[in-house]
């Protein structure tokens, strides 16, 4: 009996240790990160295009005489606030929603757009989407290729990358006249990548080369972080190349990871070390 008590005591100590570690990680990293994510800023790019940054993934509202396009619908209260803004701008015009990918911080407001067309990557399944986001957030159209939409004097191109990057079915959006690229979470600004599930670090590198060759990009709206120019893509590409080098040369690993110590991070899941780990996993295949 004493033996069992001793075992249970040690189990309790171990569990308490993990609880303390988890609580510490939450308070030090996750809580500040989530609070920062909830901050929303609005920017009128021009009279037809409004950028709504934060509150989950970065979003945009593009209006024309006959249609309103929403890129990503945010999460929690920010999702509802975005919808109210969209409805005010749309009036009686139809609304088209584009989800850059499946994650809830980009799709949490889909439920506010019943009857609207919602487009997402066609390489997800309905079952997968329902499990991740709920049935009420299901897209109505699944895109596997490319779609062009005329909006006033601009053309909106949305395209499925067609290979795994952040997820297995990432969509990007390009506005031709404005030369703006909406990268979803395949492009972030001063934030480490999250590579989980079917995410592929090599897919990111492929995507950076593809979009800069295919489109004349002058302005970039990342999935998270500040809006910038083409240098946002270049900086994120450098990050991935550095992490790939770190994965193959342990003598440089610490120094390369330290280059990004000021970027938003969460240990284990969203950090230079996590990206290095993803590359090492790919190298073993």
Q: Tell me the pLDDT tens digit for each residue of 61-105.
A: 999 999 999 999 999 999 999 999 999 999 999 999 999 999 999
The DSSP secondary structure of 217-253, one letter per residue, reads --EEE-SSS--B-THHHHHHHHHHHHHHHHHH-HHHH
Strands (E) located in the chain: 40-44, 49-54, 59-63, 68-71, 95-98, 117-121, 141-143, 146-151, 154-160, 171-175, 180-182, 219-221
pTM of the model as a whole: 0.88
Span 197-241, pLDDT tens digits:
999 999 999 999 999 999 999 999 999 999 999 999 999 999 999
**pLDDT tens column, 36-58:** 667 889 889 999 999 999 999 99
What b/e string do you get for 60-71 counting C-beta neighbours within 10 Å, with b at 16 or more? bbbbbeebbbbb
**Between residues 65 and 16, the one the model is more confident about:** 65
Residue-wise pLDDT tens digits, 131-155:
999 999 999 999 999 999 999 999 9
Per-residue pLDDT at 6: 53
Mean pLDDT over 19-47 rounds to 64
pLDDT at 15: 56
Is the pLDDT assigned to residue 26 strictly greater than 80? no
Cβ-in-10-Å burial (0-12, 13-18, 19+) of 278 comes to buried
């Amino acid at each position: 009996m004493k033996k069992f008590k001793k075992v249970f005591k040690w189990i309790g100590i171990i569990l308490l240790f993990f609880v303390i570690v988890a609580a510490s990680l939450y308070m030090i990293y996750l809580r500040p990160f989530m609070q920062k994510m909830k901050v929303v800023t609005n920017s009128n790019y021009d009279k037809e295009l409004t950028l709504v940054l934060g509150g989950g993934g970065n979003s945009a509202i593009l209006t024309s005489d006959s249609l309103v396009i929403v890129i990503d619908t945010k999460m929690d209260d920010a999702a509802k606030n975005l919808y109210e803004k969209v409805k005010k701008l749309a009036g009686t015009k139809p609304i088209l929603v584009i989800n850059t990918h499946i994650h809830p911080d980009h799709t949490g407001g889909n439920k506010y757009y019943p009857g609207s067309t919602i487009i997402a990557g066609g390489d997800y399944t309905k079952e997968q989407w329902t499990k991740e986001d709920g049935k009420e957030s299901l897209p109505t159209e699944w895109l596997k290729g490319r779609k062009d939409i005329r909006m006033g004097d601009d053309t909106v191109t949305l395209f499925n990358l067609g290979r795994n990057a952040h997820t297995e079915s990432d969509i990007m959006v390009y506005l031709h006249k404005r030369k703006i690229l909406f990268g979803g979470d395949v492009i972030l600004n001063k934030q480490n990548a999250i590579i989980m599930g079917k995410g592929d670090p090599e897919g990111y590198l492929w995507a950076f080369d593809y979009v800069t060759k295919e489109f004349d990009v002058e302005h970039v709206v990342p999935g998270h972080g500040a809006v910038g120019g083409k240098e946002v893509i270049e900086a994120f590409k450098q990050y991935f190349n550095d992490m790939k080098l770190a994965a193959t040369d342990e003598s440089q690993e610490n120094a390369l990871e330290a280059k990004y110590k000021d970027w938003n991070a969460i240990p284990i899941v969203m950090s230079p070390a996590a990206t290095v780990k993803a590359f090492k996993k790919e190298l073993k295949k």
